Amino acid sequence: MTPDQPHRTSITVRGYELDSYGHVNNAVYLQYLEQARWMFMKDRDFLKRINTEELFLVVTETNIRYMHEANLFDELIVETTMKAEKPYLVFRQKILNEKTGIVLSRATVSTIFVNQQRMPLDIPPFILLNLSTAP
């Protein structure tokens, strides 16, 4: 996978994620996005390095647009890319219904690295070397 290719995370909608209308609760979309960011970092081998260097990646802002509902047992794909907008590491994500290709939501999540004392840090060089050049 090249830095310009979105990372893809598969998720199946579970019954306890539904609201009283029978579709995925809006807050659950944030959990899907977070799980996809964890998988992105794991699959790119960033997590081990982040832990070794005792860094923490903190979400500072999330902007999400809900566009379509997801229902029980829908198979979803979360596509994730990241880009430096110093001092932030910004994740752009979208959730799609795998079967129909319909985009369910789009989100931009801004994060920042901090050390153990919770002091903000620059984006580590090992991350910068692996960033997407796509807008």
- Ordered structural domains, the chain, with CATH: 7-128 (3.10.129.10)
Residue 135 makes CB contacts below 8 A (sequence gap 6+) with 83
pTM above 0.85, yes or no: yes
Contact, 24 vs 15, CB < 8 A? no
Element counts in the chain: helices (H) and strands (E): 3, 6
User: Is residue 133's pLDDT more than 80?
Assistant: no
The helix (H) or strand (E) run that includes residue 32 is helix 26-43
Bridge partners (DSSP) of residue 75 are 12
**Calpha distance 49→100 (Å, rounded):** 37
Average pLDDT over residues 57-86: 97
